[in-house]
Amino acid sequence: MTNHQFLRKVLRYQKTYGAKATIKRSINEIFNRMRRSIGHSHPYHTLFDRDALLVRIEHPNIRLVIFDIFDTLITRPLLDPENTKHWIARRINCDRYSEQRHTAEMSLREAGSADVSLAHICTEYVRLFGTAEGDAQQLQFIEESIELALAQPLPGMIEVLKMAQQAGKKVVLASDMFLSSDVIKKLLQKCNILEYDALYLSSEVGVRKSTGELFRHIAENEKILPEQAIMIGDHPVSDQQIPQQLGFQIAVLESPLALSAYFPRLSTWIEKVKSAGPTADELVLGNIVRTFFQVQPRQFLLDRASLTQCGRYGIGYAIVGPLLAAFSEWLIDQAHADNIDRLYFLAREGQLMKDIHEVLTSGYNIPQSNYLVLSRRAISVAMIRSHEDILAIARTDYQANSLSEFLLRRFGLTLDHATLTALEKRGIWSRKRLVEIHAGQIDDALLAVLETLSDAIHRRAAMEREPMLSYLQQIKLTEGVAALVDVGYAGTIQGRLCDLLERKIQGYYMVTRAAAAEVRTRHGVRIAGCFGEDLATPDQSPLLRYNVPLEMFMGSDDPQISHYRYQDNHAVVGVYNPLSEAEKASIPLRSELRAGALSFARDYRSMKDSGLGKLRIDPHLAVDIFRDFWEGTSEFERAQIMSIATDDYYCGMGIVHFATFLPH
């Protein structure tokens, strides 16, 4: 965005929302421009070199590869490894469980036990604190079930394990762990780690990695010399310092959580959420950390100036996924409360919204999800029945563009040379004059044009109305209790559907503007906003303030629907605006965003189904992370999204890119 564009934007904002709101927004804009200007790429080079490790593993002198388990092959998506006990405390409703369990474990260790098992710890817990939280077997079962629920794979390192096996090396797993081998095997199986040669657990062998004795036991049992084995693990002492002192080769690996501490923008969020206790938000951040900082199957730049990593996939995973998952959770409650039969996700942003909603709700007793291929252009022209309808369509803001483009995009009219010449001769319109509409103000010249072309517009509306009605009947929008689902703002399409169908259609949105109240009152329908409702100014929500980038993050690869028509056999077909070359070039880029968002949804659904209790993402967290990302986009993050394009012909902007909304 150039300085001239910035000034023009400020003046338009002042005209609509007043001086006070404009001053506040201008200060924020200047601050964000400064913040972005210092967001230069700051690469972070990890200590772990995957390719170099594979070369070392393949060396003929190496006979054995030892893998640590936790935070190497599998992880718990928590912001502190000790938080597992907080999740157990949540399950048994005992705030002091973590502290008391630690006391029980230390009691056993001080009594001289070489190492302890979970069964021993739970027995000691009951001896010290009684059975208020259950007997020893119950406590053991609950703790094991929570461990199983939290376990998530680290695919990058699992791939290294498989490559070691393919190289003909013997692979064993070793862990200082109180869980039994039966439970550990279940965790490994859940994470698709099915093949390994042996499993060494301190709780069963009786000695630990942290003392070096477990490594000596492995070398003796596997009949190898220390230098013939390589140890791969994240703990700087147990997995690196001690085995190296014993003569084992090591691979210096950092756990995802340890790595995240080097990235200030993300670590700020980790610290905020970590103190809140066991919540869905911890799992959201924990899975983001796991995704960003695990060993990757291909090399990614880790950039310290960025909030996100892993390119466009990471932006989809951390920014888009949590936002749409939080919206889906809210949507379920609203639809049940209103006894909705069918939800209609509006094209084109609704495609990803629907996909994520279905990932999170598959198998539940919820209203049927449908994809509604509609646009403001398609529904608006079809519902025209009066001249006031024409003016209502024209009043929507429109960037300076030609009259022919305006009439085509708003009303489906092609302005031929003869008509334009006639308008000029009558002094109604100059050929060089541009159409520009702001805050619903239509100048006298455009009013005269619309009056002159009123009959042509009505003929066009009549031609499009019946095919539109046929399409809406085919998708059963005329039956039962139906609700529209969309990004939001003023409920325009919802209101026009109510007008056209002469029935109530409810509406659920991410955010709505104050103008939605008029549609709600006129039709007696619900127009509800998840992240903000009836907002007076865009600055009341970053989703409204940055609404175009928000829509672009959720955009579909499909072309925009223009209108519906009948074929010769009376079948209804859609007529679409052709994709531009810029939009076609954006398809593979947008697919990475979408893949990340869907991957987050699948991971979150796995957490919700795992027996951790009711989980719900805090909507404020999802919105605030979106705000932090957009207002502080680093140089690296801007490079990922700047060239993604979409069309906004309806508002006169033509093809727009993310770059349009970012400062140079």
Average pLDDT over residues 519-535: 96
Among residues 256, 278, 294, the one where a domain terminates is: 256
Domain region containing 17: 3-37
> What pLDDT shows up at residue 116?
85
* Mean pLDDT calculated for residue range 442-463: 95
Q: What is the DSSP letter of 405?
A: H
Of 36 and 18, the structure prediction assigns the larger pLDDT to 18
Provide the sign of the torsion angle of the four alpha carbons 237, 283, 145, 162, taken in this order: negative
595 within domain boundaries: yes
Q: Domain for residue 276, yes or no? A: no
Residue 24 lies in a domain: yes
3-state secondary structure of 400: strand
Residues 469 and 451 in one domain: no
**Residues 67 and 156 both lie in one domain:** yes
Assign 51 a pLDDT band (cuts: 50, 70, 90). confident
Question: What does the DSSP assignment read for 428-474?
Answer: S--TT-EEEEBTTB--HHHHHHHHHTHHHHHHHHHHHHHHHHHHHHH
> CA-CA distances (angstroms) from residue 246 to 114, 175, 238?
20, 17, 11
Do both 472 and 456 map to the same domain?
Answer: no
Q: What is the mean pLDDT of residues 343-369?
A: 95
How do residues 78-95 score in pLDDT, each as one tens digit? 999 889 999 999 888 888
Q: Are residues 391 and 420 in the same domain?
A: no
**Could you tell me if 603 and 578 lie in one domain?**
yes
State the pLDDT at residue 115: 78
Domain CATH code at residue 67? 3.40.50.1000
41 has a pLDDT exceeding 70:
no
Are residues 416 and 456 both part of a single domain? yes
What is the Cα Rg of the chain in Å?
A: 30
| pTM for the model | 0.90
CA–CA separation, 599 vs 279, rounded Å? 20
The model's pLDDT over 223-241, given as tens digits with 9 standing for 90+, comes to 999 999 999 999 999 999 9
- My answer on whether 226 and 351 are in the same domain is no
Q: Can you give the pLDDT at residue 37?
A: 55
Check: CB of residue 175 under 8 Å from CB of residue 198: no
Residue with tokens 């394990």: 161
Instruction: Give the residue from 565, 648, 50, 579 showing the smallest Cα distance to 300.
Output: 50
CB 424 within 8 A of CB 404: no
Q: What is the mean pLDDT of residues 465-477?
A: 96
Domain annotation covers residue 45: no
* Number of domains, the chain: 4
Is residue 302 a part of any domain in this protein? Answer: no
- Whether residue 203 is found in the same domain as residue 314: no
Strands 229-233 and 152-153: unpaired
Burial 570-594 (b: 16+ CB within 10 A, else e): eebebeebebeebbeebeebbebbb
Same domain, yes or no, for 331 and 476?
yes
Q: 267 in a domain, yes or no?
A: no
Asked if residue 207 belongs to a domain, the reply is yes
Same domain, 469 and 444: no
Asked which of 430, 461, 492 is the last residue of a domain, the reply is 461
252 and 378 together in one domain: no
Residue 130 has pLDDT above 80, yes or no: yes
Q: Is residue 539, in this structure, part of any structural domain at all? A: yes
Residues 495 and 560 reside in one and the same domain: yes
CB 575 within 8 A of CB 561: yes
Q: Which of 256, 284, 301 is the last residue before a domain boundary? A: 256
What is the b/e burial string over 456-472, where b = at least 16 CB atoms within 10 angstroms of the residue's CB? bbbebbeebbebbbebb
Output the pLDDT for position 374.
96
Q: What pLDDT, on a 0 to 100 scale, did the predictor assign at position 15?
A: 55
- Calculate the average pLDDT of the chain: 91
